[in-house]
Amino acid sequence: MKAHKIAVIPGDGIGVEVVAEGLKVLEAAGQKAGLSFDFEQFPWGCGYWLQHGAAMPPDAIDILGHFDAIYLGAVGLPGRVHESVGVREVVLAIRSGFDQFANVRPVQPVAGCPWYVSHRQPEEIDFVVIREATEGFYCNIGGRYEPGAAEVSEVTPMRPAFARSTEIALQTGVFSEFGCRRVIRYAFELARRRDGKKRVTSTTKSNALTHAMGMWDEIFEQVAAEYPDCEHEWFHVDALAMRFITNPERFDVVVASNLFGDILTDLSAVLVGGLGFAAGGNLSETGPSMFEPPHGSAPDIAGKGIANPIAAILTAAFMLECLDEPDAAGTIRRAVAAVVEAGEVLTPDAGGSATTRQVGDAILAAL
């Protein structure tokens, strides 16, 4: 029997609740498909930070490097631990630690999911957002400076407000030629593989951010020339955000830099029924990839047992596809589709009154 070694980081809040359902479904789908999993759970995150003063042990990346994939719930205990802790010490540390450059977020609604765009039907929408996940504004370069600092003197003449400020903050985005080219190429390769509309849409803002997005645009055109069989187009991120809602049917593969992709994929989650249905993964070419739903730890509903586990379960299906187990992934997708379409066992975000566990059980039964 084939075994996959999966590192599981449930994290905090609803991360723990939804990952439990994801694991249950993975086990069952694996059994049906004749494969087994070697799951190892790691209690890392903000709860761990409260006890140990660090959200992961210092050798966490070495440990995770021995696994085929990482399955993560969500991290964050806002109010108790500063939000940047879980983000920087776990999520971003793993994404950059394994060079997980391609954050893949499919926008493929399941029939029967909550529907917010009445001018379109779920079956008309089928695209995927590829978000660069290691660089841009997430490099966290910059600082906060007081008047008199060299950084402040340099910018002071630029705006009246700068001269009147008690503090100036600089946040520098870093965009590399290699990093942009790699993720844009990934998007074109995917458009080819999907063999659908074969259209890659680039997200830019080079009218205002001339340096970084100017380079991005040039690289996009260069890469597009390598794929004459694919259509290519671009929009500034603001206009693209509007089109995600007005014309979601026109997209096939959308590629974006890190921050733009972050914002766009919460928006695109609306097109699949909300964050409770949105899946994703951060893919690496050199180490394990990490599969995590785009949603957070949802402190407002954590502990109530009503979080929607479908995002985490579809994320598990996506993990199986990336592990080259399409049959097991397919059984999960069909089971989710059956439960959502029946509409009887859904959590409150989807108009139902079921608990997280009941939804997991219903999907298990549908398997």
What residues line the site for ligand IPM (CB under 6 A)?
Answer: 87, 91, 262, 294
Stretch that binds Mg ion, among 46-54, 84-92, 200-208, 255-263 (CB under 5 A): 255-263
Q: How far is the CB of 294 from ligand IPM (least distance, A)?
A: 5
Cα 208–Cα 214–Cα 220 angle in degrees, nearest 5: 130
SS3 64: helix
Q: Which CB sits closer to Mg ion, 36 or 171? A: 171
CA dihedral 75, 78, 81, 82 (to 10 degrees): 100
Q: Which CB sits closer to ligand IPM, 262 or 325? A: 262
Q: Is the dihedral of CA 42, 46, 48, 49 positive or negative?
A: positive
CA–CA gap between residue 315 and residue 300 (Å, rounded): 22
Q: How far is the CB of 91 from ligand IPM (least distance, A)?
A: 5
Q: Which CB sits closer to ligand IPM, 88 or 185? A: 88
325 binds, among Mg ion, ligand IPM, none (CB under 5 to 8 A by kind): none
Structure tokens at 367: 């398997």
Strands (E), the chain: 2-11, 35-41, 69-74, 102-107, 127-132, 136-145, 168-174, 199-204, 231-236, 253-256, 281-283, 289-291
β-pair partners for 323: none
Q: How far is the CB of 263 from ligand IPM (least distance, A)?
A: 9
Q: Could you say which of 12, 17, 262, 325 contacts Mg ion (CB under 5 A)?
A: 262
Q: Which of 319, 202, 305, 296 is nearest to 251 (CA)?
A: 202
Q: Is 292 in the site for Mg ion (CB under 5 A)?
A: no
Q: Which CB sits closer to ligand IPM, 129 or 335? A: 129
Amino acid at 59: D
87 binds, among ligand IPM, Mg ion, none (CB under 5 to 8 A by kind): ligand IPM
Q: Which CB sits closer to ligand IPM, 13 or 294? A: 294
Q: How far is the CB of 293 from ligand IPM (least distance, A)?
A: 8
* Nearest-CB residue for Mg ion: 262
Q: How far is the CB of 279 from ligand IPM (least distance, A)?
A: 12
Q: Is 132 in the site for Mg ion (CB under 5 A)?
A: no
> What is the C-alpha radius of gyration for the chain, rounded to an integer number of angstroms?
21
SS3 313: helix
With contacts defined by CB under 5 A, how many residues of the chain interact with Mg ion? 1
Following DSSP, what letter does each residue of 98-145 receive, concatenated? Answer: TT--EEEEEE-PPTTS----TTS-GGG--EEEEEE-SSEEEEEEEEEE
Q: Which CB sits closer to ligand IPM, 12 or 21? A: 12
91 binds, among Mg ion, ligand IPM, none (CB under 5 to 8 A by kind): ligand IPM
Q: How far is the CB of 82 from ligand IPM (least distance, A)?
A: 13
360 binds, among Mg ion, ligand IPM, none (CB under 5 to 8 A by kind): none
Q: Which residues bind Mg ion (CB under 5 A)?
A: 262
